[in-house]
A and B are shown apart, each in its own frame.
Chain A
C-alpha cells in the first residue's frame, strides 16, 4: 500500500536524490539541475497525492521500522503537515525549474554541490514538518539550517558574511529550542508530540512548561524571522544567489511558522499557552510590529531583493498574527496566507532573478519604462503578484487578508485589525512605486528608450514558472472557498 508509506516516501525522495545528484553530477555536472527538478517533482507529486488521500482517508501515523513510539520515530501526516508539505514541495519544484539558467550564470561549476544541498535542505524542511517527535524535529531543523547556510553563502561577495551571521543567530535559535525540548522531556518523560499533548494538561501552570514554551517560541521565532529576531533575514536574502533567495524565502520561514502552529495550537493548546501569561497575544503584538516594521523598511529599499526580503518579514507577521488569534478565521487566514505568500514571494524573487539575469541588476531606481517593452510577460507576472501582495480582490492575497480581518473582529482585536489595514496601504506604496517606474515614462528624463527597446524576455524555463505561479494566484482567489473549507476542518479546537 503506497498510501500508508507516503510520509516516509516524501522525505526519502529527497534523501535519495541528494545522493543521486553527486553521483551523476560528478559524471556530468549539467545533469544536477534536471535531477533536482525530477526529485522535487516526485516529492511534489507525492505531496499532492498524499493531500488528496488525506482528504478522503484522514491522517496517517507512520512508524519507522514498525517501532511504535515512544521507542520508535514516527511521522505524522495530518491536515496541517500535509498542507505545509504540499505548499513547500510544489513551490520548490517551480523554483528549481526556474533555476536552470540562473545557476549557470551566478555560480558556474558549483551546480552539483548546490543542488545536492538544496535536496538536503528540502529533506530537512519536510522532516521538520512530518516528524512526530520533538527531538527528531531538532535534527531535521539542523539539517535544513546547515544546508541553508551553505546555500545562502553561495552568492555575492557579502553572502558568506550574511550566511555566517545567520549561522550564529540560527544556531542560537536552534539551541534555545533544544533547551525547551529538554525542559519538556524532564517533566513529561517523552519526546513524542502526541504523547506529550496528552500529558501537558496535567502540568497546567507548571513553570517548567512555561519556560519550555518561551524557549521554543523564541528559538523558532528566530527561524521564522519573527520581529525582533529577524535581523539575519534581509542580508541573507539580498546577497545570496537569486535562486537561493527564491528557494528559501518562500518556504524557509513558513516551516518555522509551521512549528509555531504545531507547538502553540496542537502540542500545548491555546489554553496552556496562555495559562501563566498571555503569550499568544504577545506573539501577536510582535507579529504586528514586524508587519509594520517590515513594510516601512521595504519602502525605504531601492534594491528589489532587499525590498522583497523586508516584505517577507512583514508577511510572516500576518501568518503569525493569524496564529495568535487562535480562532478558526484567523487560522484559515494564516494558512491561506502561507500558501499565497509562498507563491507570491517565489514568483517575485524569481522575477528579481530574471531581471538580474538579463539586466545584471535589480535596482529599482534604475528601472525604467523600457522594461515594459523588453519584458512584457515578466512584468505582467510581476504586476499580478504585486497586486496580490497589496491584497486587491479577486487575487489570492485579498482573501487571506479578508479571513485575517474576520479573525481579528471575532476576537474584537481592533489593534490587529488596524495593523492589517495600514500595512496593506504600505504594501501598495512599495509595489506601485515599482509599477510606476516600469509602466510610465520618467517625467524628469522624458521618453527615451521605451519606443525602440526590443523584446528581450528570458527563456521559457524562467517565464513559464513565474507565469504559472502568477496565474495560480487568480485561480486560488476564485477557489479559495474550497481551500478555506478544508483549512477550517484542520483547525484543532
Chain B
C-alpha cells in the first residue's frame, strides 16, 4: 500500500475540517461532530504510519519547492510518528472534554474556538512530520498564529495581555529560527533533518557553532519553556482549560521539546553536540529550570498556574534526557514526552472540571472536594503522583530511564536534580490532594461530578497513565519505538 500521501492527509484533515466547522456555527452539535470526525480520521491516519515507524522506516513526500533546492517535504519518521500519535490521540479526548467544558462554562465564540483548535492540530502534526527546517518553520509559525485566538479566547484584559506576551515570545522565537535555519543552509547547503546531524562534513569555529546553537535554543526553547524564556506559559493560562490541557501541556510545548530533539539529534547530531560541548549548556539550563520551576510552583495558589510551572519543570526533564547524549537518557526523555502528556492533560482536565463545576480556581478553596468529585480527584491523584515519579504510574518509568541514562554517561548531578525535583513534585502536589481528601469542605452540598463529557476523558487519560506505567509496550509498542528512535541517533557514525 502506498502510504506516501498519508502524512499529508493527516495534516490536512483537520485543516479541511475548519470549513464545515465554520459553516455549521449555528448548529453546535453538527459542528462538534466535525471536530470529532476529523480527530478520529487524523488519529487513524497516523496509526497507519505506525507499522512503518516500528520497522525504523520513514514515509516521505516531496511537495512543491518552497525555495530553490528546498522542498516543502514531509517525512513521517519514527520520532515524528511517535509525537503525532500522542498529539492526535489526545486531541480526540480533548475534543469531547472541550464540548463539555465550553458548554458548561458558557464560553463565547465557540466556533472560533473549535476552528482554531483544528488548525493547531494540523500545525502540530505538520511539525511532527516536517522533513526539513523550512517545512518545520512553516508549521511552527502556523501553530503560533493558530494558538493566539485560543489564548485570548475570553477577550478579557488579562487574556489580551497574555496574548501579546505570547506573541512577543513566540514571534521572536520564530525569527531566531529563520536566522538559525539560514545559517545552517549557508554552512551546510541543506536543511534536511538527518539522523546524526548535517554538520558531519563541516568544520566550524567553536564560537560559530556555539552561537548557532544558542540561536536554535532561543528559537525552540521558548515553546519548550526553558527558563528564563518560559514567561509566556504561565501567562497563557488565561486560555480556557482544554486549551491549556492540550496545547500548553501537549501540543505547543511538546512541539518545543520535540524541536529540541530534532535540533540535537537531526541538525547538530549527538557527536557534534558532544564534541563542541553544546550539551553542557542544555544540561545546565534544564537542571536549573527543573529545580526553579518546581520551587515557583510551590508559591502558586492558582491551580492552573501551579500546573503551568509544573509543566515548565517537566518539559526540562525531556530536554535533560535529550541533552545527556546517552541512548538510555534519550529514551527516557522521549518516553517522558508521552508520559508527561497523559498525566498533565489529566491534571488540566481536572482543573477545568473543578472550574466548570464549582467555579473554583484557587487551591486554597479546594477543601473537601474529593467527596463531591471522587472520579475527578481520583484521576488527579493518579496524575500528580505519576508526575512525582511514584511507581507504577508512567512518570516513574521515564524518570528511571533518565536516571539510568545520566549514570550511563557518568554524570551524577542530573540524578541528584531528578531526586530533588521528585521530592519537590510531591511537595507541591500533595497539599492539593490533602485538601481535597482530608479537609472538610464548605458549601459543596449541592454539587456532584462534572458532566460525563468531561469526567470520562479524565478517567480515560488517568487510566492510560497507569497502563503505560505498568505496560509501556501495551499500546503501539511505545517503549520499543522510543528505544529505536534513540538507537537510530547514536549508531549513525559506525557502519
Residue of B whose beta carbon sits closest to that of A332: B68
Segment of A78-86, A90-98, A183-191, A402-410 in the binding face: A402-410
For residue B67, CB closer than 8 A to chain A, the reply is yes
Instruction: Mark each residue of chain A from 433 to 455: 1 if its CB lies under 8 Å from any CB of chain B, else 0.
Output: 00010011101100000000000
For residue B175, CB closer than 8 A to chain A, the reply is yes
Residues of B within 8 A of A393 (CB): 66, 134, 137-138, 141-142
28 contacts between A and B (CB under 8 A): A392-B141, A392-B174, A393-B141, A394-B66, A399-B66, A402-B67, A402-B178, A402-B182, A406-B182, A406-B185, A409-B183, A417-B179, A421-B179, A425-B171, A425-B175, A428-B171, A436-B160, A439-B149, A440-B152, A441-B155, A444-B157, A478-B64, A478-B66, A480-B66, A481-B66, A481-B70, A484-B67, A484-B68
For residue B186, CB closer than 8 A to chain A, the reply is yes
Instruction: Mark each residue of chain A from 374 to 397: 1 if its CB lies under 8 Å from any CB of chain B, else 0.
Output: 000000000000010010111000
Residues of A within 8 A of B65 (CB): 481-482
Instruction: Mark each residue of chain B from 293 to 321: 1 if its CB lies under 8 Å from any CB of chain A, else 0.
Output: 00000000000000000000000000000
Residue of B whose beta carbon sits closest to that of A444: B157
Residues of B within 8 A of A54 (CB): none
Instruction: Mark each residue of chain B from 53 to 75: 1 if its CB lies under 8 Å from any CB of chain A, else 0.
Output: 00000000000111110101000
Instruction: Report B169-191 residues with CB < 8 Å from chain A CB.
Output: 171-172, 174-176, 178-179, 182-183, 185-186
Closest CB in chain A relative to B137 CB, distance in Å: 6
A residues adjacent to B (C-beta < 8 A):
387, 390, 392-394, 398-399, 401-403, 405-406, 409-410, 417, 421, 424-425, 428, 432, 436, 439-441, 443-444, 478-482, 484-485, 488
Residues of B within 8 A of A480 (CB): 66-67
Closest CB in chain B relative to A433 CB, distance in Å: 9
Seed contacts A392-B145, A443-B156, A484-B67; 8 additional CB < 8 Å A-B pairs: A399-B66, A406-B185, A406-B186, A410-B186, A425-B172, A440-B160, A443-B157, A481-B65
Q: Complex: how many Å from CA A424 to CA B156?
A: 27
For residue B404, CB closer than 8 A to chain A, the reply is no
For residue B167, CB closer than 8 A to chain A, the reply is yes
Closest CB in chain B relative to A114 CB, distance in Å: 39
Q: Complex: how many Å from CA A425 to CA B82?
A: 34
Instruction: Report B67-91 residues with CB < 8 Å from chain A CB.
Output: 67-68, 70, 72
Q: Complex: how many Å from CA A424 to CA B141?
A: 13
Q: Complex: how many Å from CA A448 to CA B67?
A: 46
Number of residues from B at the complex interface, CB < 8 A: 35
Residues of A within 8 A of B163 (CB): 436
Closest CB in chain B relative to A121 CB, distance in Å: 35
Residues of A within 8 A of B137 (CB): 393
Instruction: Report B122-157 residues with CB < 8 Å from chain A CB.
Output: 134, 137-138, 141-142, 144-145, 149, 152, 155-157
Do A399 and B67 have beta carbons less than 8 Å apart? yes
- Could you tell me the dominant secondary structure of chain B's interface residues? helix
Residues of B within 8 A of A484 (CB): 67-68
Q: Which 3 A-B pairs have the closest CB atoms?
A: A481-B65, A393-B138, A443-B157
Do A424 and B182 have beta carbons less than 8 Å apart? no
Residues of A within 8 A of B149 (CB): 439
Do B167 and A428 have beta carbons less than 8 Å apart? yes
Supposing A392-B174, A441-B155, A443-B156 touch, asked if A403 and B67 sit within 8 A by C-beta, the answer is: yes
Partner of A443, one of B72, B160, B171, B183: B160
Q: Complex: how many Å from CA A406 to CA B68?
A: 12
Residues of A within 8 A of B183 (CB): 409
Q: Complex: how many Å from CA A394 to CA B64?
A: 12
Closest CB in chain A relative to B178 CB, distance in Å: 6
Residue of B whose beta carbon sits closest to that of A418: B179
Partner of A387, one of B67, B145, B172, B179: B145
Residues of B within 8 A of A398 (CB): 141
Residues of B within 8 A of A436 (CB): 160, 163
Do B68 and A488 have beta carbons less than 8 Å apart? yes
Partner of B167, one of A432, A479, A481: A432
Supposing A440-B160, A443-B160 touch, asked if A405 and B179 sit within 8 A by C-beta, the answer is: yes
Residue of B whose beta carbon sits closest to that of A479: B64
Q: Complex: how many Å from CA A471 to CA B157?
A: 33
Q: Complex: how many Å from CA A64 to CA B179?
A: 48
Residues of B within 8 A of A428 (CB): 167, 171
Q: Complex: how many Å from CA A401 to CA B68?
A: 15
Q: Complex: how many Å from CA A417 to CA B186?
A: 13
Residue of B whose beta carbon sits closest to that of A484: B68
Residues of B within 8 A of A401 (CB): 178
Residues of B within 8 A of A432 (CB): 164, 167
Q: Complex: how many Å from CA A409 to CA B142?
A: 25
Residue of B64, B175, B186 with highest tally of chain A CB at under 10 A: B175
Residues of A within 8 A of B155 (CB): 440-441, 443
Residue of A whose beta carbon sits closest to that of B172: A425
Closest CB in chain B relative to A449 CB, distance in Å: 14
Closest CB in chain A relative to B139 CB, distance in Å: 9
Residue of B whose beta carbon sits closest to that of A477: B66
Residues of A within 8 A of B185 (CB): 406
Residues of B within 8 A of A482 (CB): 65
Do B68 and A485 have beta carbons less than 8 Å apart? yes
Residue of A whose beta carbon sits closest to that of B69: A481
Partner of B178, one of A421, A439, A479: A421
Q: Complex: how many Å from CA A370 to CA B164?
A: 21
Closest CB in chain B relative to A407 CB, distance in Å: 9
Closest CB in chain A relative to B138 CB, distance in Å: 4
Q: Complex: how many Å from CA A410 to CA B64?
A: 25
Residues of A within 8 A of B142 (CB): 392-393
Q: Complex: how many Å from CA A317 to CA B66?
A: 25
Q: Complex: how many Å from CA A481 to CA B149?
A: 31
Residue of A whose beta carbon sits closest to that of B63: A478
Residue of B whose beta carbon sits closest to that of A392: B141
Q: Complex: how many Å from CA A484 to CA B65?
A: 11
Residues of A within 8 A of B164 (CB): 432
Q: Complex: how many Å from CA A383 to CA B402?
A: 45
Do B175 and A421 have beta carbons less than 8 Å apart? yes
Q: Complex: how many Å from CA A425 to CA B173?
A: 10
Do B138 and A394 have beta carbons less than 8 Å apart? yes
Do B145 and A481 have beta carbons less than 8 Å apart? no
Residue of A whose beta carbon sits closest to that of B159: A443
Q: Complex: how many Å from CA A401 to CA B137?
A: 13
Partner of A424, one of B64, B152, B157, B175: B175
Closest CB in chain A relative to B111 CB, distance in Å: 13
Partner of B182, one of A390, A405, A444: A405
Residues of B within 8 A of A440 (CB): 152, 155, 160
Q: Complex: how many Å from CA A402 to CA B141?
A: 14
Closest CB in chain A relative to B3 CB, distance in Å: 24
Q: Complex: how many Å from CA A417 to CA B181?
A: 13
Do A481 and B141 have beta carbons less than 8 Å apart? no
Residues of B within 8 A of A481 (CB): 64-68, 70
Residues of A within 8 A of B175 (CB): 421, 424-425
Do A405 and B171 have beta carbons less than 8 Å apart? no
Residues of B within 8 A of A410 (CB): 186
Residues of A within 8 A of B72 (CB): 394, 478
Q: Complex: how many Å from CA A398 to CA B68?
A: 15
Residues of B within 8 A of A406 (CB): 182, 185-186
Q: Complex: how many Å from CA A394 to CA B70?
A: 13
Residues of A within 8 A of B167 (CB): 428, 432
Residues of A within 8 A of B179 (CB): 405, 417, 421
Residue of A whose beta carbon sits closest to that of B153: A440
Q: Complex: how many Å from CA A412 to CA B64?
A: 30
